[in-house]
Amino acid sequence: MLGLVYSSSVAIPSDILKAALPIGIGLASAAYLTMKVVNNDGFSTDKSIPMVQLRSGDTTHDAEFFEDQDKFLAHCEETYGPVFNCQVLGQKFTVVSGPLAREIFMTEDFSFMDAVDEVTGLQSFVNSIIKSNQDPDSKMIHEIIRDNISPNLPLFTPRIVEQLRMTVEKELGDGEGKLVENPLRIFQNMIAGAMASVFMGLEVAKNQKVLDTFIDCTYDFGQVVTENKKSFWHTFGNRAKYGVMNPLRKHVNVMVEAATPIILERRRQEAKAVENGQEYKRPLDIMQRFLDNFEKYGFVDIEDICGHLLILVLASVHTTSDTSTNLCYYLGAYPQYIEPLYKEQQEVLAQIAKERQLERQSKLDAGEVTSERDFEGTGLDPRRDSDFSAAAIKRMVRMDSFVREIFRFRAERLTLAHKARRNVVLSNGVVISKGSKAIINMRSINQDSGMQGEDPTEFQPWRFVGKPKSATKASGDYLAFGMGRHACPGRFLAIQELKTVGSLMVSKYSKIEIQDPSQTKKILLSRLGEPLGTGLIFTSRSSSSAEKSA
């Protein structure tokens, strides 16, 4: 969720920061992002933890770190071992590496949200848009996603696919060598539409004002949490000010305005159905689940419902649209993988069509139906044989591995700081003291050949094919979504969307190129939300086959 961005020792212009910024609530790189927040309690006080020596002339480790992050971290691990203190990203952290990292996620005494709140005052934002479930340790949002979104993914998939496909057709379309200078905006629209259809229903997903609010709220949030007011006063100011005048409120208002007539109409139809002794066909979206479980979730009113929906938006839209955009840049950087991914897709769809035909035939043979036409409008409708169904997307194992490899390859090297609520003794005997922040050394995990297999510094998209390592499987060797009790509950939806975006791209485009190839390396390692500075050029299959036949 929380997007991120980093701070460097070099000043970053505020407009770039604004564009670059984070977004959500879960994933907290915004914590580091709120650069220059001085935190005197960042290091664990355990005297056995070594402090990384400063380079001559430097006052923090930022300059050395940003010069070559992998080199810096590899050197630190070699010199100081898996746990060491350093001052990076504008803060003081105790860095935890390798297999020890999982202990940070598996111990309840570490809190990711506390680390984010410390530098952003995040909790006051959250509490000013929701009226219920304000306890920072409430698991309600997590449970809402777990109970309502993930189990219904197969049902949500057709509308997600439709929303994504519609935006691709409208915004990217067909053509040869079509330059898109800012693909992120298109992917944001695409993902906002898909999320809106899941969270608030198909009708709301057509409302551009709501889609804009889905996209813009993340920027408003990012802007506030990155105001460069150093220190304790920044957080204090945020808490005092935005607890009352939260710029996110206007987004809640847009959602309330869009939701109210729909809710009233739904209530009217439900009452009518009851009156006629019929069963009310409940719309399939999270807003309806909220209405149906109003008391269970302890909601107060429609504003409160929309506030909770906005939290889902903050957690989901930016992270997923950023990764979708990046996925296309990876296809541009590694064009040799487009055809194998397309081939896999064709094979999966052909196989599913074959199985469905067999199923139809057996029903015909058993006399359950009398003709092929009886399947129309049913789950076995032949016109749906080639759909990107949830089952089809699940079988696309190369696409799954491609997506997971992007998360591995691109991961920020230091990320997901957690604050210790008590003294915690790690299994190597080191104590992470109460109030200090442990940050995860992703390099030590993602570039470890024991965990990742051969050549871990290379991008190998089929790295996970045939292994029990799907892109949703949170574990000690794959921390893109955290792990343990707080592991991202939205990852099933996010991966489903990412795989769908990838599938749509390779089925529609035979070639995707990075406008300025000299930027490729920088883009592949870009942080969430960082402006990419160069566009993408799309060549559709229809135009390249027209070219061949001409």
Q: Confirm or reject binding of residue 502 to ligand HEM (CB under 6 A).
A: no
Using CA atoms, how far residue 512 sits from 331, 382, 506, in Å, is 7, 32, 9
Name residue, tokens 């990412």. Answer: 498
Q: Do residues 222 and 529 make contact, with C-beta atoms less than 8 angstroms apart?
A: yes
Query: Beta strands 437-441 and 424-425: pairing type?
Result: unpaired
> At 477, is the secondary structure helix, strand, or coil?
coil
Site string for ligand HEM, 393-432 (x = CB under 6 A): -----------------------x----------------
* DSSP letter for each residue of 78-137: HHH-SEEEEEETTEEEEEEEGGGHHHHHH-TTEEHHHHHHHHH-HHHHHHHH-SS---TT
Looking at beta carbons only, is 352 or 420 nearer to ligand HEM?
A: 420
Q: What is the smallest separation between the CB atom of 152 and ligand HEM, expressed in angstroms?
A: 12
Q: What is the smallest separation between the CB atom of 149 and ligand HEM, expressed in angstroms?
A: 6
Q: Confirm or reject binding of residue 193 to ligand HEM (CB under 6 A).
A: no
Three-point CA angle 392, 203, 174, nearest 5°: 55
Q: What is the smallest separation between the CB atom of 112 and ligand HEM, expressed in angstroms?
A: 4
User: How far is the C-alpha of 261 from the C-alpha of 253, rounded, in Å?
Assistant: 13
Q: Do residues 537 and 515 make contact, with C-beta atoms less than 8 angstroms apart?
A: yes
Looking at beta carbons only, is 349 or 399 nearer to ligand HEM?
A: 399
Name residue, tokens 């991961």. Answer: 411
Looking at beta carbons only, is 17 or 416 nearer to ligand HEM?
A: 416
Using CA atoms, how far residue 516 sits from 350, 520, 533, in Å, is 37, 8, 9
Looking at beta carbons only, is 461 or 510 nearer to ligand HEM?
A: 461
Looking at beta carbons only, is 410 or 508 nearer to ligand HEM?
A: 410
Looking at beta carbons only, is 319 or 543 nearer to ligand HEM?
A: 319
Contacts of residue 346, Cβ cutoff 8 Å, sequence gap at least 6:
none
- Of 5, 21, 27, 95, which one interacts with ligand HEM (CB under 6 A)? 27
Looking at beta carbons only, is 58 or 109 nearer to ligand HEM?
A: 109
Q: What is the smallest separation between the CB atom of 58 and ligand HEM, expressed in angstroms?
A: 30
- By CB under 6 A, which span of 8-16, 291-299, 349-357, 476-484 interacts with ligand HEM? 476-484
Footprint of ligand HEM on 301-330 (CB under 6 A): 312, 315-316, 319-320, 323
Count residues binding ligand HEM (CB under 6 A). 26
Q: What is the smallest separation between the CB atom of 321 and ligand HEM, expressed in angstroms?
A: 9
Q: What is the smallest separation between the CB atom of 525 and ligand HEM, expressed in angstroms?
A: 16
Looking at beta carbons only, is 97 or 543 nearer to ligand HEM?
A: 97
Please report how many Cα atoms fall inside a 13 Å half-sphere around the Cα of residue 87, on the Cβ side.
17
- By CB under 6 A, which span of 47-55, 117-125, 364-372, 484-492 interacts with ligand HEM? 484-492
Q: Confirm or reject binding of residue 128 to ligand HEM (CB under 6 A).
A: no
User: How far is the C-alpha of 211 from the C-alpha of 222, rounded, in Å?
Assistant: 18
* DSSP letter for each residue of 328-347: HHHHHH-GGGHHHHHHHHHH
User: How far is the C-alpha of 184 from the C-alpha of 161, rounded, in Å?
Assistant: 18
Looking at beta carbons only, is 333 or 406 nearer to ligand HEM?
A: 406
Q: Confirm or reject binding of residue 494 to ligand HEM (CB under 6 A).
A: yes
Q: What is the smallest separation between the CB atom of 191 and ligand HEM, expressed in angstroms?
A: 9
User: How far is the C-alpha of 152 from the C-alpha of 257, rounded, in Å?
Assistant: 27
Q: What is the smallest separation between the CB atom of 41 and ligand HEM, expressed in angstroms?
A: 20
- By CB under 6 A, which span of 373-381, 482-490, 514-522, 540-548 interacts with ligand HEM? 482-490
Q: Confirm or reject binding of residue 290 to ligand HEM (CB under 6 A).
A: no
Q: Confirm or reject binding of residue 488 to ligand HEM (CB under 6 A).
A: yes
Site string for ligand HEM, 32-71 (x = CB under 6 A): ----------------------------------------
- By CB under 6 A, which span of 142-150, 181-189, 219-227, 460-468 interacts with ligand HEM? 142-150
CB burial of residue 493 (10 Å; 0-12, 13-18, 19+): buried
- Of 105, 221, 388, 509, which one interacts with ligand HEM (CB under 6 A)? 105
CB burial of residue 259 (10 Å; 0-12, 13-18, 19+): buried
Q: Give how far the C-alpha of residue 66 lies from the chain's centroid of Cα atoms, to the nearest Å.
A: 24
User: How far is the C-alpha of 284 from the C-alpha of 406, rounded, in Å?
Assistant: 32
Looking at beta carbons only, is 320 or 447 nearer to ligand HEM?
A: 320
Secondary structure of 495-541 as H, E, C letters: HHHHHHHHHHHHHHEEEEEECCHHHHHHHHCCCCCCCCCCCEEEEEH
- Of 364, 369, 465, 487, which one interacts with ligand HEM (CB under 6 A)? 487
What residue type is assigned to position 180 of the chain? Answer: V
Structure tokens at 64: 């050395």
Q: What is the smallest separation between the CB atom of 493 and ligand HEM, expressed in angstroms?
A: 5
Flag whether 76 is marked binding.
no
Contacts of residue 119, Cβ cutoff 8 Å, sequence gap at least 6:
30, 31, 32, 34, 37, 39, 91, 225, 234, 235
Footprint of ligand HEM on 153-192 (CB under 6 A): none
* Interface residues toward ligand HEM, by CB under 6 A: 1, 26-27, 105, 112, 141-142, 145, 149, 312, 315-316, 319-320, 323, 416, 480-482, 486-490, 493-494
Residues making up the annotated binding site for heme are: 488
User: Binding site: which residues?
Assistant: 488
